[in-house]
Structure 1
Amino acid sequence: MSGFSRAEQVLGELLRPDLQGRTAYGAPQLDVPVQLNTNENSYPVPSAVVQAMCAALAEAGTGLNRYPDREFTALREDLAGYLTRSSGVPVAASQLWAGNGSNEVLLHVVQAFAGPGRAIMGFVPSYSMYPNYALTTGSDWVEGRRGIHREDAIDLDPQSAAEQVAQHAPAVVFMASPNNPTGSALDLDVVTAVYDACARTIVVVDEAYAEFARPGTPSALTLLSGRPRLVVSRTMSKAFAFAGGRLGYLAADPALVDALRVVRMPYHLSTQTQVVARAALAHSDLLMAEVEAIKTQRDRLVEETARMGLVPMPSDANFVLVGGLRDEKATWRALVARGVLVRDVGLPGHLRITAGTVAETDAVLAALSDCLTSTAE
């Protein structure tokens, strides 16, 4: 253990064996002018929303000597109203659950329905936190493939996905729509096929980027009725410019929501989080205007990188996975040297670029063009 302190050595030996040698999840945080690597909303919270948040906090401040509403009743009502209006699917407050970001909400699902002796499953490439949920809960992790019948498949097809779920019978299966890092949305027949494949599997459709979907892209919210094992998760981090506010939520059958109460920590949502999230939801129309601006820049990234001879994937999210790079790691370093930070997601020849403001899009396109020209010389 040369180079380690005595405390590090002792604690390293006491750490759970399955955690030893592992590093924490997290994207690189570098001090560069253009940061497009974590799919944040690049637009600051509008001043009208900030003022509403401050007023709500001031009103709630005198009551901070008391614990928050454990059932976050008013917030659940507001979330249900927002989902009903935006999706056209009636959603009741009894179907809603929320937490400090969608990671906590999804972890609640795993804590309630997976654990030692049970497995959770995801289809790679996808959100890299899904295996971490298995690790932290002592669950087995099953890495599904996006193509059994087509080895080069990026999107899931109903037959291959259902076959894999039937084979492994996981306690929980995760499917992201739009998927991260590919940006592609699921066909709903994939969801129904997976749901029907195993009668003892909780099926989670992670719709963190749903508000950025192209017109006509369906939501799994339309499938909730009559499917008590189906969960549809959302977040306010992206579309609502609320990454720092930490509010994720899900919709499911009330009986499933009730099961999550068993595993949540007491009073897990602070009063501040609840009131600030409600203020943001009250201004959803204003915040969705920024979503439309981001979608414009996303589509511009697709068009302009294709003109450069690269291979971008059409996206329903607030990012674009760009392929066709000869050396993605060298390109990533070259972009950082030019003041632009994007994400290396571990796919050969690909980098993921968050869609930001017009100025940020200008900067990343100029830097990428310069990188390609330099490597071609």
Structure 2
Amino acid sequence: MTNAQTSNERADRLAALPIREELHGQEPYGAPQLTVRAMLNVNETTHEVPADVVEAITKQVHAAASQMNRYPDREFTELRRKLADFLSRDLPGGDLSAENIWAANGSNEVMQHLLQAFAGPGRSVMAFPPTYSMYPLYARGTYSDYIAGTRNADYTQSADDVADQIRRSRPHVVILTSPNNPTGTALELDVVRAAYEAAAESNTLLIVDEAYGEFRQPGVPSAVELLEGRPLLVVTRTMSKAFAMAGGRLGYLAAAPEVTDALRLVRLPYHLSVYTQAAASAALDHAESLMANVEKIKVQRDRIMEELRAMGLDPSPSDANFVLFGGLTDEKAAWKHLLADEVLIRDVGIPGHLRVTAGTEEETTLFLDSLRTFVGR
């Protein structure tokens, strides 16, 4: 029996199950998982975790193992305090406290908690494609309607346009993404302010997803600066990217304390294990060491943009750890050519475009050399 036949039989058996009607025919979120020399398709930090961080995490996880007969701290109080201290670095004045922080198993679960509390049946969620492909899945998983807004042709967003779309649609939750995935574009704070004012008119929650916030270009602000006095504003972050903890699964947010109180109504009991809390806490203790890798990644990101332009391609300006680039006549052929050279990047479904994660200097060189060969054929 061929793989295709097996796959078709599994699909038939799935279709026969009494699953929710709207799930029939849907595809799960995913990206190719292949072992090649340069895996640059899912925006992980490809640099090795610094030895001092590995040692600290190992020590704290080992200590946590002696406590696994007991439930973990349900309020993860110490972890919230450390996350607040880290985020406060983005504030020109004043500090966040543990009361402003929530965390979960990756920013995916953070978003799920937010939509469980503020969206749901009979409610709607608005985002602005092309953007993170999980947003409509979050909406579907919480029985929420999904509203797709629009962007400018260069993927940017203007304050007046975003505010106008929010006022016309009157969703219950709005998601802005800065830097945006897959385009890499960041938002000016005037866009967030205008979006918040429009959202507040209909008592709408505004989420700014800053999963790649630590990779911003110099001088690009964070929406964390706008939290004070805005009880309907939420800023989400993750430790998967800048903290090299994609396998650790820790996402978090900053918001008014009453927002975190709302999330306690929907979270599962003891949702953060002792091991997750220990690993994240140890990583935060070594933030400076990990941020040094962030600076190295930013160098490679900027190198990618410069060299792609020299090839005659069209990279979008990026404030993230990846680069979306266009100008390809056949992006699928380019993707296959790169994979044949053991370089895996992402086809994000935009004609003529591909997205590449900024990796180590060696991985970046492999990518650029292979693509240069393809473009020069």
Q: Do they superpose with TM above 0.5?
A: yes
2:365 match: 362
Asked if 1 retains the 8 angstrom alpha-carbon contact of 2:131 and 2:180, the reply is yes
Is 1:159–2:171 an aligned residue pair? Answer: no
Select the residue among 354, 361, 366 that pairs with 1:351.
Answer: 354
CA displacement at 1:85 relative to structure 2: 2.8
What is the 5 A alignment of 1:63-142?
63-88=67-92, 90-142=95-147
Task: Quote the Cα distance in structure 1 between the aligned partners of 2:134 and 2:14.
Answer: 28
Distance 1:4-1:238 versus aligned 2 partners, 3 A rule:
closer
CA displacement at 1:230 relative to structure 2: 0.2
Asked if 1 retains the 8 angstrom alpha-carbon contact of 2:90 and 2:222, the reply is no
Runs of 4+ in structure 1 deviating by more than 3 angstroms, as ranges, are 1-13, 86-89
1:145 partner SS: coil
CA displacement at 1:314 relative to structure 2: 1.4
2:37 match: 33
CA displacement at 1:107 relative to structure 2: 1.0
CA displacement at 1:159 relative to structure 2: 1.0
2:289 partner SS: helix
Is 1:181–2:185 an aligned residue pair? Answer: no
CA displacement at 1:7 relative to structure 2: 9.9
1:56 match: 60
Question: Per-residue displacement from partner, 1:28-55 (whole Å, max 9, x unpaired)?
Answer: 1122211100000011111111111111
CA displacement at 1:330 relative to structure 2: 1.2
Task: Quote the Cα distance in structure 1 between the aligned partners of 2:230 and 2:16.
Answer: 44
Task: Quote the Cα distance in structure 2 between the aligned partners of 1:19 and 1:123.
Answer: 23
Structure 2 runs not aligned, ≥5 long: none
Is 1:290–2:284 an aligned residue pair? Answer: no
CA RMSD of the aligned region, Å?
A: 1.6
2:328 partner SS: coil
Task: Quote the Cα distance in structure 1 between the aligned partners of 2:10 and 2:49.
Answer: 46
Task: Quote the Cα distance in structure 1 between the aligned partners of 2:193 and 2:10.
Answer: 54
- Comparing 152-161 with 287-296, which one deviates more in the overlay? 152-161
Task: Quote the Cα distance in structure 1 between the aligned partners of 2:217 and 2:296.
Answer: 13
Distance 1:372-1:7 versus aligned 2 partners, 3 A rule:
closer
Is 1:337–2:313 an aligned residue pair? Answer: no
Structure 1 runs not aligned, ≥5 long: none
Asked if 1 retains the 8 angstrom alpha-carbon contact of 2:15 and 2:24, the reply is no
Structure 2 letter corresponding to 1:187: E
Structure 2 letter corresponding to 1:107: Q
2:362 partner SS: helix
Distance 1:75-1:298 versus aligned 2 partners, 3 A rule:
same
Structure 1 letter corresponding to 2:278: V
Task: Quote the Cα distance in structure 2 between the aligned partners of 1:6 and 1:249.
Answer: 36
1:222 match: 225
Distance 1:214-1:261 versus aligned 2 partners, 3 A rule:
same
Structure 2 letter corresponding to 1:155: T
Select the residue among 227, 235, 238 that pairs with 2:238.
Answer: 235
Task: Quote the Cα distance in structure 2 between the aligned partners of 1:284 and 1:210.
Answer: 14
- Comparing 169-178 with 27-36, which one deviates more in the overlay? 27-36
Task: Quote the Cα distance in structure 2 between the aligned partners of 1:7 and 1:45.
Answer: 39
1:352 partner SS: strand
Question: Per-residue displacement from partner, 1:106-136 (whole Å, max 9, x unpaired)?
Answer: 1110010000100000001111100001111
CA displacement at 1:333 relative to structure 2: 1.0
Question: Per-residue displacement from partner, 1:157-178 (whole Å, max 9, x unpaired)?
Answer: 0111111111111111111100
Percent identity (aligned)? 55
Asked if 2 retains the 8 angstrom alpha-carbon contact of 1:12 and 1:20, the reply is no
Question: Per-residue displacement from partner, 1:189-219 (whole Å, max 9, x unpaired)?
Answer: 1111111113211000000111110110000
Distance 1:6-1:328 versus aligned 2 partners, 3 A rule:
closer
Is 1:213–2:201 an aligned residue pair? Answer: no
Distance 1:6-1:228 versus aligned 2 partners, 3 A rule:
closer
CA displacement at 1:3 relative to structure 2: 7.8
1:154 partner SS: coil
Structure 1 letter corresponding to 2:370: A
Asked if 2 retains the 8 angstrom alpha-carbon contact of 1:121 and 1:144, the reply is yes
Distance 1:93-1:326 versus aligned 2 partners, 3 A rule:
same
TM-score by length of 2: 0.95
